């Protein structure tokens, strides 16, 4: 019972083979999007070491994302940010039972192929790394491994789904400890969804065609999305989440789950904070539990945030117009 | 008489389970109230429960925190029907071994005496769909959707094997308890949900 809007059932990533006496299919949209559905109401945590990955798993994370540097460190270091060391990804895959994700550069097909060959569970084509292709993203239908992509608006999200993304994360501004951009973008996506739903319900096909042109996607995917009134894939919030209350607020805005980047392992109380953010994500609707979670952390140990207006590098803009 | 069926809504694909059970109840013309449940209080009022797919380590730890794990165990031990799907089947088991990491000390319900292996078919790239058979449930052909699925290698006394896939056990039943390694809620076919609703109905009367 998954929405399969925009699906390309005969793409290269779909593999049919025979094992013993059984015909099996791998890489179908049901399997890729279904995997993302299993992560719902959970927290995916950015990690750089085996130790951090184990802390994340013990805290109740549904998955870990392996990076070479946390987004805030990428911001400080400058230069070109690339996919993480394969050796570290493999060590982490061997030490936790939860799914392991890794990032590749936008448009960098070979980095993605390396990650698929490494057997990571999901690939994040991410603006945190330096884009390799300013004009186009990876054609993700060619992969058996599912992808997650960032988006700041419904149009951007649907463009990624049309390219084969099995999951979306609404972009915040990574590595800032500032949740404002994430909030802005999820509200923007929600507003756009309400708008196309209203147009669909009114039966105004001409206006729906105009929206498809504005979004730079096919009419079909706009129509199917408008009909169900939500993104056809799972949508997590990401970027700048640093506290349990940040996580709970984003869940209340209708996000399916949370990505936490620098917010946990840049804080001095990583272990407690990891646990607290998981609790607040699960029990976001119970204010006493969110308060208990918030009490587990010490604001004096939160990462120092950055004002998004003064940033020289806005990662969220990367790949956004493509 | 209304059947009260809950989906444990701690983490995982809760909504898909709600939708497919509603569809199954409608097709069966059974009067059922399908709801998401989180607390001990909500669980204690149910006639049947589904533990959905998700991450078993997360579901286990968080249901331990809010006390729902204990209530679930008491209710299931006293006869409430349960359908554990993928992570849910792991939750029903008495020990969980990961294919790579080995024995995990995650919180479990300790209800089914089975030898279970997590991520038994491999990582996500090895997730697959294939036709399977559930003969003893009178479902000869069923589309199995296996996502980082667990599998069972041995079952203890009284545990009935419902289905095998290439020698690995992928569905079991013991009285009021059903576990599947695959995801019935991700297909259009509601045969498994119908079987479960009928089981709840027969045990309630």
Flag the least confident range among A55-59, A163-167, A172-176.
A172-176
Per-residue pLDDT reduced to its tens digit, A14-38: 999 998 888 999 999 999 999 999 9
Higher pLDDT among residues A21 and A151, named by residue: A151
Whether B74 is catalytic is no
CA B199 – CA A145 distance, rounded (Å): 37
B3-204 CATH fold: Rossmann fold (3.40.50)
User: Per-residue confidence of chain B (205 residues) as pLDDT tens digits?
Assistant: 899 999 999 999 999 999 999 999 999 999 999 999 999 999 999 999 999 999 999 999 999 999 999 999 999 999 999 999 999 999 999 989 998 888 888 999 999 999 999 999 999 999 999 999 999 999 999 999 999 999 999 999 999 999 999 999 999 999 999 999 999 999 999 999 999 999 999 998 6
* Whole-number pLDDT of residue B205: 67
- Binning pLDDT at 50, 70 and 90, where does residue A76 land? confident
Whether B183 is catalytic is yes
- Binning pLDDT at 50, 70 and 90, where does residue A315 land? confident
Q: Scanning every residue of chain B, which has its alpha carbon at the shortest distance from the alpha carbon of A22?
A: B130
- Please give the ipTM for the structure prediction: 0.97
What residue ranges do the domains of chain B occupy?
3-204
CA A265 – CA A278 distance, rounded (Å): 14
* Whole-number pLDDT of residue A199: 98
* Pairwise CB contact (< 8 Å): B130 & A26: no
Of B87, B147, B166, the CB nearest to A34: B147
* Pairwise CB contact (< 8 Å): B147 & A62: no
CA A138 – CA A10 distance, rounded (Å): 17
Which of B55, B74, B86, B135 is the catalytic position? Answer: B86
Report CA torsion sign: A225, A102, A236, A156: negative
Angle between helices A205-215 and A219-228 (to 10 degrees): 110
DSSP string, A85-112: PHHHHHHHHTT-SS-EEEEEETT-HHHH
| DSSP H or E segment with residue A55 | helix A50-59
Chain B residues in contact with A25 (beta carbon < 8 A) = 128-130
Q: Scanning every residue of chain A, which has its alpha carbon at the shortest distance from the alpha carbon of B150?
A: A97
DSSP strand pairing (B3-8 vs A257-260): unpaired
CA A185 – CA A166 distance, rounded (Å): 19
Q: Scanning every residue of chain A, which has its alpha carbon at the shortest distance from the alpha carbon of B53?
A: A38
What residues contact residue A98 under an 8 Å CB cut-off, 6+ apart?
A56, A57, A61, A62, A63, A64, B55, B57, B58
The answer to whether residue A174 scores a pLDDT higher than 90 is no
Selected from 3.20.20.70, 3.30.2180.10, 3.40.50.300, 3.40.50.620, the CATH number assigned to the domain covering A29-303 reads: 3.20.20.70
Chain B residues in contact with A41 (beta carbon < 8 A) = 9-12, 14, 54
What residue ranges do the domains of chain A occupy?
29-303
- Binning pLDDT at 50, 70 and 90, where does residue A121 land? very high
The answer to whether residue A305 scores a pLDDT higher than 90 is no
């Amino acid at each position: 019972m998954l929405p399969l809007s925009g699906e390309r059932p005969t793409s290269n990533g779909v593999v049919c083979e025979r094992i013993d006496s059984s015909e099996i299919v791998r890489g179908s949209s049901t399997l890729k999007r279904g995997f993302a559905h299993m992560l719902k109401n959970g927290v995916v945590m950015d990690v750089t070491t085996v130790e951090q990955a184990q802390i994340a798993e013990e805290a109740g994370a549904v998955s870990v994302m392996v990076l070479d540097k946390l987004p805030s460190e990428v911001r400080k270091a400058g230069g070109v940010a690339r996919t993480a060391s394969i050796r570290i990804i493999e060590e982490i895959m061997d030490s936790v039972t939860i799914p392991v994700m890794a990032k590749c550069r936008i448009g960098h097909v070979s980095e993605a192929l390396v990650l698929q060959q490494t057997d990571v569970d999901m690939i994040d084509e991410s603006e945190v790394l330096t884009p390799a292709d300013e004009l186009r993203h990876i054609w993700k239908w060619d992969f058996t491994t599912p992808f997650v992509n960032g988006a700041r608006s419904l149009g951007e999200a649907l463009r990624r789904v049309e390219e084969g993304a099995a999951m979306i994360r609404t972009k915040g501004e990574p590595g800032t400890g500032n949740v404002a951009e994430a909030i802005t973008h999820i509200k923007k996506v929600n507003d756009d969804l309400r708008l196309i739903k209203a147009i669909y319900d009114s039966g105004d096909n001409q206006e729906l065609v105009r929206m498809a042109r504005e979004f730079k996607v096919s009419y079909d995917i706009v129509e199917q999305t408008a009909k169900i009134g939500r993104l056809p894939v799972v949508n997590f919030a990401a970027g700048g989440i640093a506290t349990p209350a940040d996580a709970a607020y984003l869940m209340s805005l209708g996000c399916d789950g949370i990505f936490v980047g620098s917010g946990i392992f840049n804080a001095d109380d990583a272990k407690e904070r990891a646990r607290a953010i998981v609790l607040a994500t699960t029990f976001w609707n119970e204010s006493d539990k969110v308060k208990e979670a918030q009490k587990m952390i010490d604001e004096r140990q939160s990462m120092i945030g950055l004002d998004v207006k003064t940033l020289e590098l806005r990662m969220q803009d990367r790949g956004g117009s493509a | 008489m209304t059947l009260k069926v809950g989906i444990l809504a701690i983490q995982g694909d809760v909504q898909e389970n709600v939708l497919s059970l509603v569809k199954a109840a409608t097709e069966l013309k059974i009067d059922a109230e399908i709801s998401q449940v989180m607390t001990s209080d909500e669980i204690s009022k149910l006639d049947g429960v589904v533990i959905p797919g998700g991450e078993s380590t997360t579901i286990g730890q968080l249901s331990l925190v809010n006390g729902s794990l204990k209530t679930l165990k008491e209710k299931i031990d006293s006869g409430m029907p349960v359908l554990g799907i993928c992570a849910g089947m792991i939750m029903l088991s008495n020990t969980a071994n990961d294919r790579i990491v080995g024995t995990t000390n995650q919180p479990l319900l300790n209800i089914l005496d089975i030898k279970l292996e997590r991520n038994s078919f491999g990582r996500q790239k090895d997730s697959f769909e294939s036709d399977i058979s559930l003969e003893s449930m009178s479902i000869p052909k069923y589309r199995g959707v296996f996502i980082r699925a667990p599998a069972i290698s041995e079952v203890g006394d009284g545990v009935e094997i419902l289905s095998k896939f290439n020698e690995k056990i992928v569905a079991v039943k013991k009285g009021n308890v059903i576990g599947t390694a695959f995801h019935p809620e991700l297909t259009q076919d509601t045969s498994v949900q119908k079987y479960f609703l009928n089981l709840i109905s027969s045990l309630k009367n």
